[in-house]
Amino acid sequence: MKYKASSPGIAIDKVVTVQANSNIALVKYWGKRSIGEDCSDESLNLPANSSLSITFGDELSTVTSIVFSEKLNEDEFYLNDKKIDLDEKEIQERFIVLSKLRDIAGTKLRARVVSRNFVPTASGFGSSASGMAALTFAAAKALGLGIETSRLSEIARIGSGSACRSLFGGFVEWERGNKPDGRDSVAKQLYQETYWPELRLIVTALENPKKSISSRAGMRQTAKTSRLYKERIIGAEENIKVLKAALREKDFEKVGEITMQDTMMMHAVMLDTRPPIMYLNDVSRETINTIEELNRKEGRIVAAYTYDAGPNAVILTLDNDFDKVMETLRKINGISKLIVPGIGGGARVLDESQSIIDPNTLLPVSGE
């Protein structure tokens, strides 16, 4: 079946390339609303609590090129030079984003999507945040949709919750919202990436980060089985309030304290899940103990750790303490690399020279 464009704004056979960066939440999202909890449709991917993140620099990002074409009979997706099966359940759930945007544009045109993740090898960082933010942003641009970014974050959220935050740079809040249709569950920028230049991030990349249960599957299991989960939802909303005040004051010690408490609270409900979800390993625990010991010795919070759904830490510190913290982290066995990403901007269109779809043949450009 051949699909035809129906909206005049659509760039047919014209490649659009964007970059979106990953992010690290200081107050985490772990759990979705289900029907009856301010939710009319679970595929809207509505969070149980608000979350707050920092967008990484380009060191942890995804570049996506997209082209809508009448020559395509079905959507195609290539990730890191491999063709991905779009019938796979989790991929299908995420690619609803394309259909939503097509509906808004009033077209059935099929797309070729080519993505490359720039996530350092073994960093263990998932790429769904940057990946889905890049896909949403690229598709919206190619379809000629002049939707404002906060509205677009509603669509990116469907692809991946954390992706709605990656549309923006700097310090970003994803508000839970209360509407069952999710119209108020959107991300917004609190501060630009230049807001706190002294704040530094360090990512610990472990030698052998093992594959574990996906966040999506894990949080469903937590909501079903954890008794601590209800308490966590309340705690996260309280943490957001305190964190926002601490960010306003640039109070590093308070930011650090909330960040560490929040990640441990999330990992506690993971452990309280049946069967238990354990993302942290011995190296993660040693890193936590090392940072706690450093803070105790210094008599103040010089560094704070946070862990997503994996064993790699993101460490927060300030410029003045950066060398000391790096030196301390270098002594930990099992950390293969320390990555120092900046704080970065939101999703943006790249120029044609950075396209990973050949503009003439419309075929993927190999990364080799």
Tell me which residues touch ligand DP6 (CB under 6 A).
25, 28-30, 45, 51, 126, 128, 160-162, 215-216, 308-309
Nearest distance in Å: CB 31, ligand DP6: 9
Rg (alpha carbons) of the chain, rounded to whole number: 20
Type of residue at 246: A
In the DSSP assignment, the letter for residue 108 is: -
Q: Could you give the strand order of the β-sheet that contains 303-307, starting from the edge strand earlier in sequence?
A: 303-307, 313-318, 199-206, 335-339
Residue nearer to ligand DP6 on the CB measure, 99 or 354: 99
- Locate 336 and state its tokens: 């293969």
Nearest distance in Å: CB 214, ligand DP6: 7
- Locate 158 and state its tokens: 């469907």
Nearest distance in Å: CB 94, ligand DP6: 7
Instruction: Check: CB of residue 268 under 8 Å from CB of residue 314.
Output: no
What is the CA angle 272-278-279, rounded to 5? 130
Residue nearer to ligand DP6 on the CB measure, 31 or 364: 31
- Helix (H) and strand (E) counts for the chain? 10, 14
Residue nearer to ligand DP6 on the CB measure, 29 or 56: 29
The C-alpha atoms of residue 367 and residue 154 are separated, in whole angstroms, by: 31
Q: At residue 20, what are phi and psi to the nearest 5 degrees? A: -135, 145
72: left (phi over 0), alpha (psi -120 to 50) or beta: beta
Residue nearer to ligand DP6 on the CB measure, 55 or 355: 55
Q: How many CB atoms lie within 10 A of CB 139?
A: 25
| Bridge-based pairing state of the strands 187-191 and 82-83 | unpaired
Type of residue at 182: G
SS3 144: coil
Nearest distance in Å: CB 211, ligand DP6: 14
Q: How many CB atoms lie within 10 A of CB 33?
A: 24
Residue nearer to ligand DP6 on the CB measure, 123 or 160: 160
Nearest distance in Å: CB 229, ligand DP6: 14
Nearest distance in Å: CB 311, ligand DP6: 12
The C-alpha atoms of residue 38 and residue 156 are separated, in whole angstroms, by: 19
Nearest distance in Å: CB 74, ligand DP6: 23
Residue nearer to ligand DP6 on the CB measure, 213 or 365: 213
Nearest distance in Å: CB 270, ligand DP6: 9
Residue 52's DSSP bridge partners are 27, 173
Residue nearer to ligand DP6 on the CB measure, 43 or 121: 43
Residue nearer to ligand DP6 on the CB measure, 17 or 160: 160
